[in-house]
Amino acid sequence: MIADNILDRAKQIERLNQPVVEWDILVIGGGATGLGIALDATARGYKTLLVEQSDFAKGTSSRSTKLVHGGVRYLAQGDIRLVREASIERGLLYRNAPHLIKDQTFIVPVYSLWARLKYTIGLKLYDRIAGKLRLGPSVFISKKETIEKLPGIKTNGLKGGVIYHDGQFDDSRLALNLAQSIWENGGVALNYVQVTSLLKNSMGMLCGATVLDVESKKTYTVKAKAIVNATGVFVDDILQMDKPGSAKTVCVSQGVHLVLDKSFYPSVDALMIPETSDGRVLFAVPWHDKVVVGTTDTPVEIASLEPKALEKEIDFILETAAAYFIKKPKRSDVLSVFAGLRPLAAPQKADQKTKEISRSHKIVVSASHLFTILGGKWTTYRKMGEDMVNRIEKELNWKHQLPATAYLHIHGYYKNENWQDPFYFYGSDATLLQQQINGTAGQWLSEELKIHPAQIVWAVEHEMARTLEDVLSRRTRALLLNARESLRIAPEVAVIMAKTLGKDDQWINDQLKKFNWLAEQYILK
């Protein structure tokens, strides 16, 4: 059972039960955007509550390409302002969460002298835009060096490559660390709490929301001075609650990734293919001892928390990767497939393609003061938070409080990471976790994924994991790294969780049923 000194969701829920509390800011949505806003607000001293209907980062924020990047593609599109903003944020995040953000080298193979010139100059510009916050200099490398670094690459017409630096991270672990930072700075961030309606005062202005604790099915009335809609691809649902009939603001685009064994791409450098047959870029990024390959850009009509990769997206990634990898991957080699939905600001022109829509963020304020945020990137979550809280202060005539997140260390902050350590992503928490592991070392639940029973207990007691999926998808990344292996260890994980949470056999059976269904969606037949 859970001891007193550890993070207890029930105690946090109690804070909803105090009718006299009026929150300064209520944030709806516990993805990168909402967490960034709630941390900014908390750090400025505002009484802040964040509610997430599912788990933190259940939506798009656990399904990214895992890059903290300035965006070479946006540079090619001429969006210098976005590249500058993202490059600064990349540098700040690298300093504030050094346990999660790696300096990753990328290689762009070039097949013509024009491409060589374009990418050498372009990437030098990329370095310059980042200024002091750049991670490392870009350099041109010869054909021989390119082949040494990318042994599987097609050599016909190869002129060489350009190496550049960007950041690489673990998205759902960062989301969790942001939630922990919110708690540590005095705010409340709750998973499995859903906003079901918005409340207005006699003047027709928003003054709170009705929220449902999805676990207990209990409803609470929450009073708040400002309400933020940071629900990603679901922003229009909240806008409808504010004003039925509101125009559509978001346009949804799906991106798919395949995870493969690193033997297909055994390089320490990531690969960036700058122009695929559909005119996008494709990445192959080393991640937790595997390689993540993606992504696509497919318009989608209906938003879902569990989007499904299309066959044509899977085929496209496999075919494109085959031209660059040492072994040509087949469907049966895919360890996991995952899809995410980009919440893009709806285009002004009806015929604009989703890949052409700017990734910069946009804030919209309704007549009743619902603050909605659209678009953006994981990389710029901090700046999005700062912009939103500045806007709330301005619109509601609050005294300006200085933003405080640019140099705020994020929970787990730890320098000089040993990236070979299987527990590196726990940062400063790794020492405590390691103490719990001592004596039982070697008894992995999964030798391949380096998952230990102590991590399951840790996820429940310190990281607010409530379901089997929370542990296997977002506290550890088992589901995304090897879906079959996650299925194999699920029964043991469920038993450990049940013991720690004080749950019965019925709970174990329900969790296993749900997780088995989910994992099947990540496996290619």
Ligand X SMILES: Cc1cc2nc3c(=O)[nH]c(=O)nc-3n(C[C@H](O)[C@H](O)[C@H](O)COP(=O)(O)OP(=O)(O)OC[C@H]3O[C@@H](n4cnc5c(N)ncnc54)[C@H](O)[C@@H]3O)c2cc1C
Interface with ligand X (CB under 6 A): 28-34, 51-54, 58-61, 63-67, 69, 194-195, 230-234, 255, 295, 305, 340-343, 376-379
Pick between residue 295 and residue 476 the one whose CB is nearest to ligand X.
295
β-sheet bridge partners, residue 290: 261, 287
What sign does the CA torsion over 418, 423, 426, 431 have?
Answer: negative
Pick between residue 329 and residue 343 the one whose CB is nearest to ligand X.
343
Shortest CB 24 distance to ligand X, Å: 18
Shortest CB 327 distance to ligand X, Å: 24
φ, ψ at 205 (rounded to 5°): -100, 150
Shortest CB 379 distance to ligand X, Å: 4
Residue found by looking up tokens 């976005």 in the block: 82
Residue found by looking up tokens 């390689």 in the block: 291
Pick between residue 232 and residue 453 the one whose CB is nearest to ligand X.
232
Pick between residue 71 and residue 152 the one whose CB is nearest to ligand X.
71
38 Cβ partners below 8 Å, 6+ apart?
25, 27, 48, 49, 50, 182, 187, 189, 385
Shortest CB 381 distance to ligand X, Å: 7
Shortest CB 395 distance to ligand X, Å: 20
Q: How far apart are CA 106 and CA 161, in angstroms?
A: 10
Pick between residue 57 and residue 459 the one whose CB is nearest to ligand X.
57
Shortest CB 523 distance to ligand X, Å: 19
Pick between residue 281 and residue 457 the one whose CB is nearest to ligand X.
281
321 Cβ partners below 8 Å, 6+ apart?
258, 260, 264, 265, 282, 284, 293, 328, 329
* CA–CA distances in Å: residue 237 to residues 32, 37, 214, 230: 19, 20, 18, 11
Strands 336-345 and 250-261: antiparallel
Best CA proximity match to 12, nearest among 231, 234, 211: 211
Shortest CB 419 distance to ligand X, Å: 18
What sign does the CA torsion over 53, 59, 61, 63 have?
Answer: positive
Pick between residue 376 and residue 412 the one whose CB is nearest to ligand X.
376
